[in-house]
Structure 1
Amino acid sequence: MKTTITQVPAYEGQVVTIGAWLANKRSSGKIAFLQLRDGTGFIQGVVAKSDVTEDVFQLAKNMTQESSMYISGTIVEDKRSPFGYEMQVSDIQLIQEAVDYPITPKEHGTEFLMDHRHLWLRSSRQHAIMKIRNEIIRATYQFFNDQGYVKVDPPILTGSSAEGTTELFHTQYFDEEAYLSQSGQLYMEAAAMAFGKVFSFGPTFRAEKSKTRRHLIEFWMIEPEMAFVDHEESLEIQEQYVSFVIQSVLENCQLELDTLGRDTSKLEAIKAPFPRISYDDAIALLKDKGFTDIEWGEDFGAPHETAIAESFEKPVFITNYPAAIKAFYMKPDPARPEVVLCADLIAPEGYGEVIGGSQRIDDLTLMEQRYEEHNLSGPAYKWYLELRQYGSVPHSGFGLGLERTVAWIAGVDHVRETIPFPRLLNRLYP
């Protein structure tokens, strides 16, 4: 019976065959212990000299790291194993012998590992991180599909900027200038006017020359947009979504969390509702914590976000930022126009902002005013203005950065480990 490692619990006591690679091995006298991986998981294969032919035993003892094989044996329960099962090997068919595999069990520097990212992905730690990433993506689709959202794919090549910033990658689109998308949000607003509730999931790009542990040049965003939804309703959707994703990871990735040594008690406590703190109160809190130089009207950096998060056990929404430091499309608070109806969700444990969202301007006259203030009167933005001309409604949306969320949930220090092939300021290889 040919199967995979994750399926072997169903075959306890039976002989199965697995296509696998040798992750590591040790041998002692008349027994060899093979650490096997097949992409779905890891399992130990025990090769006893008395149970196999001499050729098979010598093959097991001499096999090199990352050699590939078909390996057969009986599946037995083993409570000492993190996986709970092992294979008592009866036969091995070598497919390809790997020679001088560069990533050995010894310590390697980060740059070396990044240069060999195509191979580093095979390690148990990287495998666990990618499995958690995959579960977050799976749970995202489940949450929004169950809530009646339609997935819409915005373009990656655009003629305008969503945020109005200069941190864009320029490219030539035949005879006109184009940019790599830094957000699908503007297009998702158009989609929300057609389908009501929509979400996108795709790559975005920021030409920001940052080297922090929270930044990537290319990263993935989940961006829902909802018609007839105000700011407060959007916050409730955000906290329900994040709570759902975390509970899904806890339920389906316990082995991976254990592999990473993640303290899951911190995750188990994260359930909606989340605390909220206004920008005004956040400024006062920071001053109390010793950030005496921070003034009203300034944006928060990583140290500020971390200090604010330390005052709460759950993620915290910072709401109602000054309009001057936020994007042109955010709706002013009717009771206080100098601030906007927005929120950033700050993750605990120093992981910073994972969601940014707001209620969008739905008034045509105000949006025309914003266009003038931000010099957006060109034809590239004409279609976005038309959304306020033809059946405008109150609407809200948000964007969740996948890699920062993976880093937080997995307990990983740097986002470079949370995406298969990271693009960093000085890294385009492999």
Structure 2
Amino acid sequence: MKTTIAEVGQFVGQEVTIGAWLANKRSSGKIAFLQLRDGTGFIQGVVVKSEAGEELFKAAKAVTQESSLYVTGLVQEDSRSPFGYELTVTGLEIISEAADYPITPKEHGTEFLMDHRHLWLRSRRQHAVMKIRNEIIRATYEFFNERGFVKVDPPILTGSAPEGTSELFHTRYFDEDAYLSQSGQLYMEAAAMALGKVFSFGPTFRAEKSKTRRHLIEFWMIEPEMAFYNFEDNLKVQEEYVAHIVQSVLKNCQLELERLGRDTSKLEQIKAPFPRITYDEALEFLHKNGFEDVKWGDDFGAPHETAIAQSYDKPVFITHYPTSLKPFYMQPDESREEVVLCADLIAPEGYGEIIGGSERIHDFQLLSERIKEHNLEPEAYEWYLELRKYGSVPHSGFGLGLERTVAWISGVEHVRETIPFPRLLNRLYP
């Protein structure tokens, strides 16, 4: 019976064959222990010389790290294994023998591992992070599909930018200027006017020369946009969505979280609703906690966000930022024009902002004025303005950064581990 490691629990007491790679091995006298992986999981294969015979035992001891194999064996329950099963090996066929695999069980430096990212992905730790990333993506589609959202794919090449072009990658589109998208939001607003509730999931690019553990040059965003949703409606969707993906990871990635040493008790508390504080309240908190130099109108940096988040055991919304800090399309608060109806969602444990969202301006005249105030080219936004001419409605949306969310939920320190092939300020290889 040919199967995968993830499915061996269905075949306890039966002999199966698995296509696998040898992650590691050790031997103790007359027993060889093979650490096997096949992409779906990891399992230990045990070769007992007295039972397997001299030839098979010799082959098991000789096989090299990361050689590919067909392994046949008897599935046994094993309470000592985190996985719960092991394989008593009865047959071994080498498909391709690996020589001098560069990533050995010893410690390696970060740059070395990043140079060998194509191989580092095979490790238990990276496997666990990628499985958690995949579960967040699966749960994302589940959440929005169950609530009647339509998946829409905005373009990656654009002629304008939602937040100006200072941090965008410029390219030529035949004889025109073009940019790699930093957000699909404007296009998602158009889609929401056609389909009601929509979401996108795709790559975005920021030409920001940052080296922090929270930043990537290329990252993935989930961007919902909702017609007839006001600011409060928007916050409710955000907290329900984040709670859903956290609980899904807890339910479906227990082994991966354990492998990463994640304190799951902190994740178990992540249920809606989330606490909310205004920008003004956040500023007051910072002044009382050693950040007296932050003035009204200043943006919050990583140390400020971390200090605020440490006061809560759930993600916290910081709402009503000064208009001057935010992009041109955000709806001002009717009772206080100097702030906008926006919120940043700050993750606990120092992981920073994972969501930025707002109610969008739906008034044609006000949006026209904002475009001029931000020195944007009106011609480039003519189509965007037309959305306000033909049946404009209040609408809201947000964007969640996938890699920061993966980092927070999995508990890894740096976002470079949360994407298969990270693009950093100093790295375009492999």
Same fold at TM > 0.5: yes
1:173-192 equivalent positions in 2, closer than 5 A: 173-192=173-192
AA matched with 2:362: D
Determine the structure 1 residue equivalent to 2:148: 148
Q: Is the Cα–Cα contact under 8 Å of residues 215 and 415 in structure 2 kept in the other structure?
A: yes
Name the CA distance, whole Å, in 1 between partners of 2:22 and 2:6.
Answer: 16
Q: Match of 1:366, SS?
A: helix
Name the CA distance, whole Å, in 1 between partners of 2:95 and 2:58.
Answer: 16
Name the CA distance, whole Å, in 1 between partners of 2:264 and 2:347.
Answer: 15
AA matched with 1:56: L
AA matched with 2:267: L
Determine the structure 1 residue equivalent to 2:39: 39
Cα offset, 1:96, TM superposition: 0.8
What TM-score do the two structures reach when normalised by structure 1?
0.99
Cα offset, 1:53, TM superposition: 3.2
Alignment pair present for 1:193 and 2:196: no
Name the CA distance, whole Å, in 2 between partners of 1:93 and 1:39.
Answer: 18
Alignment pair present for 1:56 and 2:56: yes
Determine the structure 1 residue equivalent to 2:27: 27
Name the CA distance, whole Å, in 2 between partners of 1:375 and 1:301.
Answer: 26
Name the CA distance, whole Å, in 2 between partners of 1:192 and 1:125.
Answer: 39
Determine the structure 2 residue equivalent to 1:304: 304
Name the CA distance, whole Å, in 1 between partners of 2:186 and 2:368.
Answer: 15
- Note the aligned Cα RMSD (angstroms): 0.6
Determine the structure 2 residue equivalent to 1:368: 368
Determine the structure 1 residue equivalent to 2:208: 208
Cα offset, 1:165, TM superposition: 4.0
Q: Is the Cα–Cα contact under 8 Å of residues 15 and 75 in structure 2 kept in the other structure?
A: yes
Aligned length: 430
AA matched with 1:139: A
Show structure 2 runs of 5+ residues with no match: none
Q: Match of 1:232, SS?
A: helix
Show structure 1 runs of 5+ residues with no match: none
- 372-381 or 243-252, which moves further after superposition? 372-381
Name the CA distance, whole Å, in 1 between partners of 2:2 and 2:377.
Answer: 63
AA matched with 2:297: G
AA matched with 2:273: P
Name the CA distance, whole Å, in 2 between partners of 1:90 and 1:276.
Answer: 59
Determine the structure 2 residue equivalent to 1:426: 426
Q: Match of 1:145, SS?
A: helix
AA matched with 2:425: L
Determine the structure 2 residue equivalent to 1:398: 398
Q: Match of 2:154, SS?
A: coil
Q: Match of 1:45, SS?
A: strand
Q: Is the Cα–Cα contact under 8 Å of residues 314 and 348 in structure 2 kept in the other structure?
A: yes
Q: Is the Cα–Cα contact under 8 Å of residues 372 and 378 in structure 2 kept in the other structure?
A: no
Structure 1 residues 278, 165: CA separation in 2 closer, same or farther (over 3 Å shift)? farther
Q: Match of 1:396, SS?
A: strand
AA matched with 1:129: V
Determine the structure 2 residue equivalent to 1:292: 292
Name the CA distance, whole Å, in 2 between partners of 1:230 and 1:367.
Answer: 17
AA matched with 2:422: P
AA matched with 1:389: K
Q: Match of 1:91, SS?
A: strand
**Deviations 1:341-378 (CA, angstroms, capped at 9, x unpaired):** 00000000000000000000000010011011012233
Determine the structure 1 residue equivalent to 2:139: 139
Identity of aligned residues (%): 76
Name the CA distance, whole Å, in 1 between partners of 2:9 and 2:23.
Answer: 21
Name the CA distance, whole Å, in 1 between partners of 2:213 and 2:5.
Answer: 34
Give structure 1 regions of 4+ aligned residues with deviation exceeding 3 angstroms: none
AA matched with 2:428: L
